Amino acid sequence: MLPFERLNVYHAALQFTDVIYNTVKNWPREEVYSLTDQLKRASVSIALNIAEGTSRTKKDFRHFLDLSRGSCYECVSILEIAKNRGFVRERQYASLYDQCVSIVKMINGLRNSLVNHEQ
């Protein structure tokens, strides 16, 4: 097992990506190369940065966690646009938002543990 595969946040990010892929299936066709694609790429980026970061130094890993957190924020912004355009309902938006917040908290906790471990 590789180091990132032991991280709960990595698995949460994978689950979130699955939910996003299912969410965008029925979005308007004209959004395939804009919001749909951007949301899918941002959600995938969360897990990819966590995975790649584990192969680096602790300082670099923190940077990759920052990138991963930024991708979560990007997902929230895209989802809000999608909600405003009527592509997701309020309840679905709230659920996806909560998942993003949960992942961000996990990323922050992991990042803080790396900082505290160095001191």
Read off the CATH number of the domain in which 82 is found: 1.20.1440.60
pTM: 0.94
Distance set, CA 7 to CA 49, 56, 88 (Å): 13, 15, 30
What's the chain's length in residues? 119
Residues spanned by the domain of 12: 3-118
Buried b (16+ CB within 10 A) or exposed e, 41-70: ebbbbbbbbbbebbeeeeeebbebbebbbb
**How many domains, the chain?**
1
Q: Which tens digit of pLDDT belongs to each residue from 52-63? A: 999 999 999 999
Q: Residue 25 pLDDT > 80, yes or no?
A: yes
Spatial separation of the C-alpha atoms in residues 16 and 69, rounded to whole Å: 13
Arithmetic mean of pLDDT, 25-49: 96
In one-letter notation, the amino acid at residue 12 is A
